[in-house]
Structure 1
Amino acid sequence: MAVLPRRDFLALGTAAAAAALLPGRAFATIPTGVKLHGLSAFGDLRYAADFKHFDYVNPDAPKGGQMNFAPPNSTLNQSFLTFNTLNSLVLKGDSPPRTELCFDSLMASALDEPDAVYGLLAESVTLSQDRNGFRFSLRPQARFNDGSPLTAEDVVFALKLYKDKGHPNLSKALRHMTEAVAVDPVTVNLTFNGEQSAQNILSVVAMPIVSKAFYTTNEFDASTMKPPLGSGPYKIGRVAAGQTVEYERVADYWGSDLAVNRGLYNFDRIRIDFYLDRQAAFEAFKKGDTHFREEATARVWATGYDFPALKDGKVVKREFPGEKSPSMQAVALNQRRPQFRDVRVRRAIANCFDFEWIQRVLFFDSYERSHSNFERSDYKAEGLPSPGELALLEPFRAELPPETFGEAVMQPVSDGSGHDRKLLGAASKLLAEAGWKRAGNFVVNEKGERLRVEMLAEEDGLVRIFTPWAENMKAIGIDASIRQVDSTQYEKRQSDFDFGFNMLAWSIGATPTADGLEILYDSRMAKTPGQRNYPGTESPAIDALIVAAGKAGSRIELVTALRALDRVLRARLDWIPTYYLANHRVAYWDMFDFPEQKPDYGFPVETLWWFDKGKAAKIGKG
């Protein structure tokens, strides 16, 4: 845990609290009027302008082979279980993971730096004197995969399109953009209103650039199985709707020799098969139909990897270090429903989650207990608030729970019995204080209405975790039930906030942006379909702390703002933290090679690893 210098805390004393919440100067340490090869929220870049490749790649990795890949993460409207559209850029429909491989962006992230991007489509970027304007000089050789040039007009078209019709995560990040102009075919000017954070532009430059010509003749916001025209290292190949998608490497990809791409995108083909049932997906891996799998079920990891291919050495089972990024897995109680608005009710329900029993019986002691929305990072609050945190919190003391200003709130520890009488007794007392009185087997309010909690689940693994939680709720009179629905219905109910109790696992990035924080916590997102403010949080204090984080001029200021935010979230219990996994649990058929030193801020095996012909031949996969 990083220790912050006392002088930096004191610099944010009470008298400076209001100033700390006001917009600051984005990229204050970066020179203006100079062409830059990269950007970082706080100025420092690891790689010089003439770098040849990222340190975490093998620049000589061979091209070829195929990886049948089970993706462990997704973005925007992507689904793990099925798909009914190839358009991942809008809210409508379920698309397959990794469609982003088909598109290039203005700049690309470095996975060994927490907040740095380097030129991809853009050869350079120049900041205006007021730091609200960005001039991108595009690479003249940039091409779409049909050979047509990718120009400034495409960049402008794409960003304006997203702002108007794109997935809410895209349109929200562009709300501060006031102008996008194609100065000439290779020059783009983007202008912002001055309210954006330094991190905001890092989100914008990572957005996929689509073809103006393609979407002039094809409807952008349609749910369609027509492959889009891209410019990236892969294109969509064979598709069986809802079952299989293949991404084929573009042999003459225009950007293959760029420093940001060298050593990446090595497989000729990446195939994703979709299984509605987790066990069926595991059986496909055991047979070799799937080549790489990150195991999400502790029971299977502990007891299921005893099949012949693993015993014969054809399959490798190992763990890789997790990222140095905050980890969030938590439950939201939907405060749009009145029964969940009282924090005492939320605390009572939290008391019914017996992590210690689940850890022993279901998790085989493989998980860690979450207490924070920023586990595994310096942003997790510890102990009493620092002077800097207090400076940010004091203006909102009247609004915030008293616990905000004490020791950072921790989740209760049970006796591991699965039915801790002390915790359940405390939960019953909290319900009574909140006005829920026992009437027979249930607690009811003054109108005689039961306290109902419907737990929304998409797959069997969650049902197993929710079942003991529900049983403890029933023991204290809550009418708890579990509703398991299919993937399409699950995504729709999430997007429409049509649930009472829902779990979310979320990666917020090593340097959380205001945009990313707003998706989860900002008051405006409580009423915006498709966002992840599942609890319906509406708090001026939280909104102000997000602004403070977005305007941080140094990592020290960012850490201070996020620790203060963490204290508020934990005291309010908008999200009930559950558990997290410290490492990646991975199994793969021994036909790949990779750099042994994993980057700190990502684990994209499908783009970083490569096919090893010799290994594949030895296990009969050549």
Structure 2
Amino acid sequence: MRPLNFPRWCRIGAIITLVLLPVKGLADPSHGIAMYGDPALPPDFVSLPYANPQAPKGGRVVTGNTGGYDSLNPFILKGTAPWQLRFLAAESLMGRNWDEPFTLYGLLAESVETGPEREWVEFTLRPEARFSDGSPVTVEDVIWSYDVLGTEGHPRYHGFWSRVERIEQTGERKVRLTFETPDRELAMLAGMRPILKKTQWAGKDFSQSTLEDVPITTAPYVIADFEPGRHVTLHRDPDYWGRDLPFRRGTHNLDEIRIEFFGDGDVLFEAFKAGDLSYIREFNAEAWANRYDFRRVREGDIVKSEIPHQKPSGMTGLVMNTRRAPFDDIRVRDALLHAFNFEFVNDTLTGGRQPRITSYFSNSILAMRPGPAEGRVAELLTPYAEALPPGTLEGYTLPQSDGTSRNRGNLRKALRLLADAGWTVQEGRLANEAGTPMRFEILLRQADQQTQAIADIYSQALERLGIDVRQTTVDNAQYTRRINAFDFDMTDFRRSLSLSPGNEQRLYWGSEAATQEGSRNLMGVRSKAVDEVIDALLASESREDFLSAARALDRVLTAGRYVIPIWTYAVGRIAHVKELKYPDTVPIYGDGAEWMPATWWYEETEE
């Protein structure tokens, strides 16, 4: 593995301390805006710290997705679009520096200004900003984009728009948004909405766009070619308007990015081994250690790179839909957590190489502390003590097994919990007092072999408890439709979290989102305590308040027993052709679409 000039822990500590200082409104237009404090990069910065401004342009890479797609519009609920399009084929007024917890710098906008309490935000467009068809980006395009995304776009855009009191043109290239409620993060979110071309959609229903309706954007890449179910090909726009911006210098270096589609992960991996793909991300430590001993690796044509990061673990595992019985009973969810033999699953599938997620913000300064809640955390949670999940205030840790395949001790605990909830074994099947057997479905994506392997092991344990569990595997399109409609009992779950959690937490776990079709609150959390702690998080004006609110939220969610956690991805793993290079400095957020392939380049290697 190549050596990395990775930011040290003292550096991230200093950054977090800086950004958690009390915020003040921007008195004058600025080149950037931070959630707290001032942007780390000066107005005359040369490039992002993790980009190589001397990186050569050119080259072609091929990557792979599993499943298929039936849309090229990633901004609406309808259909399934290649996930990369949100990151590579769209732009916003501001762009994020992934080497700071949450700071934005001018992209389509040359400057940003806010009111004293961030009750409004105003952006000034760059005069040179252009769509890929050469037409200028106007304030009218910006206002229309906010409106259509907030009303007809994907639900992830609706929450922000509902909190905008008005949007108006305040100058030839100026647009101002005024907010209904005090929330300093809204000014940040305003800078991150994708900007689309209004006239493209004249007379069309944006929410019902088809494969023929490829959104026109301002991004460095445009969709050059596609074949449904087979591939999507992006070309770097040679006339891209922002190629000389400091924010873009050293990024988007590849001339062509082709996305090939495969039926499942095994077929994708074989394509990579054969040289049909340029890189692959590996999420299984056991596979990383043992599966990459093939000829192209041994001969040096393939390089294995490990990418560290300093972000929270987030939550990965199997989520239970509390909108449905029996998952609306926390005793049942607790029993199902005890029945999940993580130690055995981890040893079987990863060789025990990957540590378990212990909470939503584990592996970070935002994680809940062990033992009883204290200080400000206790103050935030105590008013809701009677309604809090057991263990929230007292302290909660995930069940641990003895590592054997039978997991006898935890299964006995699971049976006791189920009995308390009214479920007992009757004629070999678990049933309630009415004699109705407990049965549920684990919904899986067709190409997700790892989760299928986890579910196979887990199902055996559930069957020993007398639970009738079935696994249903569907294609990506059907999976997306069912998830958007909350039509599932249990399914796979992945929620990445940042060092600066904010309004997205409402969409993830807020009560309002629990009933909003297409929201990311898959488990259906409806908790006054969660809602109030998120409010406290957003209203924080000091480092202590921010950390306490995050740790309080972590406690309620973890003790709520909504997800059966698996392992944390403590390091990114990318196997790639030797011609693909990346800068020595890696951002604190590590790997991601806006780092790889966005800051990588192609360089022929001399023999």
TM (normalized to structure 2)? Answer: 0.93
Q: Secondary structure at the match of 1:579?
A: coil
The residue that corresponds to 1:568 in the other structure is: 556
Alignment of 1:392-407 (within 5 A): 392-407=380-395
| Alpha-carbon offset, residue 174 of structure 1 | 2.0
Alignment partner for residue 609 of structure 1, among 590, 600, 604? 600
For residues 542 and 194 of structure 1, the distance between their equivalents in structure 2, rounded to whole angstroms, comes to 19
Deviation at 1:323, TM superposition (A): 4.1
**1:19 aligned partner:** none
Partner in structure 2 of residue 588 of structure 1? 576
* CA shift in 2, pair 1:31/1:296, >3 Å: closer
Tell whether 2:537 aligns with 1:537.
Answer: no
Q: Distance in 1 between matches of 2:585 and 2:544?
A: 28
Residues 1:30 and 2:18 aligned together: no
- Go from structure 1 to structure 2 and tell me whether the alpha carbon gap of 1:174 and 1:325 turns closer, same or farther (over 3 Å shift): farther
Indicate the residue corresponding to 1:469 in structure 2: 458
Which whole-Å deviations, capped at 9, do the CAs of 1:364-414 have from their partners, x for residues lacking one?
22211112011221121122212110110011111113411112x111111
Task: For 1:561, give the aligned amino acid.
Answer: A
Query: Which position in structure 2 is the counterpart of 1:215?
Result: 201
Looking at structure 1, the residues matched to 284 and 67 of structure 2 have their Cα atoms a distance apart, in angstroms, of 16
- Shift in Å, 1:86: 0.5
Q: Are the structure 2 counterparts of residues 27 and 580 from structure 1 closer, same or farther at C-alpha, using a change threshold of 3 Å?
A: closer
Residue 493 of structure 1 contacts residue 499 of structure 1 at CA under 8 Å; is this kept in 2? yes
Query: Which residue of structure 2 aligns with residue 92 of structure 1?
Result: 78
Equivalent residue letter for 2:356: R
Letter in 2 for 1:90: I
Deviation at 1:27, TM superposition (A): 10
Q: Runs of 5+ in structure 1 lacking a partner?
A: 3-25, 72-79
For 1:142 and 1:472, locate their aligned partners in 2 and report how far apart those are by CA, in whole Å.
58
Which moved further from structure 2: 242-251 or 576-585? Answer: 576-585
Letter in 2 for 1:58: N
Distance 1:156 1:315 in 2: 46
Return the match for 2:487 from 495, 498, 505.
498
Which amino acid in the other structure matches residue 582 of structure 1?
Answer: A
Query: Structure 1's 262 and 295: CA in aligned 2 closer, same or farther, altered over 3 A?
Result: same
Give the conservation status (yes or no) of the 8 Å contact 1:27–1:198: no
Conserved 8 A contact 1:94-1:488 = yes
CA deviation after TM superposition for structure 1 residue 602, in Å? 4.1
Counterpart CA distance in 1 for 2:328 and 2:25 is 48
Matching residue within 286, 291, 295 for 2:282: 295
* Alignment partner of 1:411 out of 398, 404, 414: 398
Q: Which amino acid aligns with 1:182?
A: Q
1:549 alignment partner in structure 2: 537
Match 1:489 to one of 460, 463, 478:
478
Write the distance in 2 (CA, Å) between the matches of 1:35 and 1:520: 32
Deviation at 1:321, TM superposition (A): 0.7
1:113 Cα shift? 0.3
Change (3 A) 1:495 1:436: same
Q: Give the Cα–Cα distance (whole angstroms) in 2 for the partners of residues 97 and 288 of structure 1.
A: 23
Question: Partners in 1 of 2:89 and 2:573 — Cα distance?
Answer: 28
> 2:195 is matched by which residue type in structure 1?
I
CA distance in 1, matches of 2:63, 2:244: 25
Please give the alpha-carbon distance, in whole angstroms, between the structure 2 residues aligned to 1:333 and 1:297.
Answer: 23
Aligned to 1:445: 432
Deviations along 1:295-327, one digit per CA (max 9) or x if unpaired, are 134443232212211111111123211342342
1:118 corresponds to 2:105: yes
Q: C-alpha distance in 1, partners of 2:186/2:208?
A: 27
Aligned equivalent of 1:283, options 270, 276, 300:
270
Cα distance, 1:28 vs. partner? 6.0
Which whole-Å deviations, capped at 9, do the CAs of 1:595-622 have from their partners, x for residues lacking one?
1221112422111110102x1x64xxxx
Say if 1:67 and 1:606, in contact at 8 Å, map to a contact too: no
- The answer as to 2:185 corresponding to 1:194 is no
Distance 1:453 1:517 in 2: 28
Q: Which moved more, 1:573-582 or 1:52-61?
A: 573-582
CA offsets 1:520-543 (integer angstroms, 9 cap, x no match): 211111111111211211111111
Q: Whole-Å Cα distance in 1 between the matches of residues 539 and 601 of structure 2? A: 40
5 Å matches for 1:294-443? 294-383=281-370, 384-407=372-395, 409-443=396-430
Q: How does 1:25-104 map onto structure 2 within 5 Å?
A: 29-70=23-64, 80-100=66-86, 101-104=88-91
Paired-residue identity, %: 34
Deviation at 1:131, TM superposition (A): 2.4
Distance 2:181 2:526 in 1: 24
Which residue is equivalent to 2:5?
none
Tell me, in whole angstroms, the C-alpha distance in 2 between the residues paired with 1:518 and 1:366. 33
| Structure 2 counterpart of 1:525 | 513
Is residue 352–residue 473 contact of structure 1 (8 Å, CA) maintained in 2?
Answer: yes
Partner of 1:74: none
| Corresponding residue of 2:17 | none
Which amino acid in 2 is paired with 1:345?
Answer: V
Residue 38 and residue 560 in structure 1: after superposition, are their counterparts in 2 closer, same or farther (change >3 A)?
A: same
Q: Distance in 2 between matches of 1:205 and 1:380?
A: 28
- From 499, 508, 512, the counterpart of 2:497: 508
Whole-angstrom CA distance in 2 between matches of 1:322 and 1:469: 30
Alignment match of 1:182 (pick from 146, 152, 169)? 169
Q: What is the CA distance between 1:30 and its match in structure 2? A: 2.5
Cα pair distance change 1:98/1:400, threshold 3 Å: same
- Partner Cα separation in structure 2 for residue 51 and residue 427 of structure 1: 57
Q: Distance in 1 between matches of 2:246 and 2:509?
A: 36
Summarize deviations over 1:562-605 as a string: whole Å, max 9, x none: 11111112222122322212111210110122112211124221
**Number of the residue aligned with 1:206:** 192
Letter in 2 for 1:475: R
Does the 8 Å contact 2:366/2:499 carry over to 1?
no
TM-score, with normalisation over the residues of structure 1? 0.90
- Separation in structure 1 between the aligned mates of residue 112 and residue 37 of structure 2, nearest angstrom: 14
Is contact 1:326-1:379 (8 Å) kept? no
* Structure 1 SS opposite 2:145: helix
Give the corresponding residue for 2:546.
558
4+ residue stretches of structure 1 with deviation over 4 A? none
CA deviations over 1:203-256 (Å, ceiling 9, x no partner): 221111001111225431123113221111110011011211111001111111
Output one character per residue of 1:116-143: Cα deviation in whole Å (capped at 9) or x when no partner: 0001111111112452111111111111
Q: Would you say the 8 A contact 1:325–1:509 is kept in 2?
A: yes
Do structure 1's residue 241 and structure 2's residue 232 form an aligned pair?
A: no
Structure 2 gap ranges (5+): 1-8, 11-19
- The alpha-carbon deviation at position 556 of structure 1 amounts to 2.9
What CA distance in whole angstroms lies between the structure 1 residues aligned with 2:83 and 2:521?
22
Q: Following the alignment from structure 2 to structure 1, what is the Cα–Cα distance between the partners of residues 190 and 143?
A: 12
Query: After superposition, where does 1:251-290 map in structure 2 within 5 Å?
Result: 251-290=238-277
Contact 1:42–1:555 (Cα < 8 Å) also in 2? no
Change (3 A) 1:608 1:434: same
